[in-house]
Amino acid sequence: MSTIPLDLETDTVVLPPPALSPQVTLERSLKRRHSSRAFLPDALPLDTLSAVLWAGFGVNRPEGHGRTAPSAHNWQEVEVYAVLAEGAYRYDARGHRLLLVSAEDLRRHTGTQDFVATAPLELVYVADFSRMTNVPEEDRAFLAGADSGCIAQNVYLCCSGMGLATVVRAMVDRRRLAQLLGLTSTQRITLAQTVGFPGREASE
């Protein structure tokens, strides 16, 4: 059953306020951080999705401009897409809500590894190069990758603290996924990241 309460009039999912458990300490998160490639297919509860997105690149200052991850020149050029069985959404950090991009299940297109098709949440990091002003063009990909990496590490630490499995991924067919997400010519997929409940790793 879907855990995503999509408002069909506005194509929006309002997320509950992000709440990380007090047990999620930085020490615990750092000690447990690792990459996993085995995920249960179970959907994430909405409050878990809310916490992961907020930790990744949510708004963390009351005036609404500061984010949980740094970005070069404070461009905040990376958009986080959440690809779920129910569809693909863009995370609107200021509104802490999801905006529907596609009602299709695009998870299998978010990477070249088998687990992406069945894990419950695929995050896709998309940099808008048009926001990256006053730098040489050749620096943009590097800086967008660095900014995306900061977000990815936030997600890693949130997941390890909450007992979730995750892996950040560069192995993505960017051209195909960009088409499916309806990206513009100035938008580039930098990385993707799978999140879910831990499954049994092959070596276990």
Ligand X SMILES: Cc1cc2nc3c(=O)[nH]c(=O)nc-3n(C[C@H](O)[C@H](O)[C@H](O)COP(=O)(O)O)c2cc1C
Q: Which is nearer to ligand X, 37 or 131 (CB)?
A: 37
Long-range contacts at 40-44 (CB < 8 A, ≥ 24 apart): 40/120, 40/196, 40/197, 40/198, 40/199, 41/118, 41/119, 41/120, 41/196, 42/120, 42/196, 42/197, 43/2, 43/3, 43/84, 43/85, 43/120, 44/3, 44/120, 44/121, 44/164, 44/195, 44/196, 44/197
Counting contacts by CB under 6 A, is residue 35 touching ligand X? yes
Count CB neighbours of 60 within 10 A: 15
Q: Which is nearer to ligand X, 34 or 176 (CB)?
A: 34
Q: Which is nearer to ligand X, 20 or 38 (CB)?
A: 38
Binding mask 141-180 for ligand X (x = CB under 6 A): --------------------------xxxxx---------
Q: How many of the chain's residues bind ligand X (CB under 6 A)?
A: 9
Q: Which is nearer to ligand X, 19 or 170 (CB)?
A: 170
Q: What is the Cα–Cα distance from 151 to 77, expressed in whole angstroms?
A: 12
Q: What is the Cα–Cα distance from 196 to 63, expressed in whole angstroms?
A: 32
Q: Which of 19, 30, 31, 34 binds ligand X (CB under 6 A)?
A: 34
Q: Which of 28, 32, 37, 174 binds ligand X (CB under 6 A)?
A: 37
Q: Choose one: 3-11, 34-42, 43-51, 91-99; the region binding ligand X (CB under 6 A).
A: 34-42
Q: Using CB under 6 A as the criterion, which residues of the chain lie in contact with ligand X when the complex forms?
A: 34-35, 37, 113, 167-171
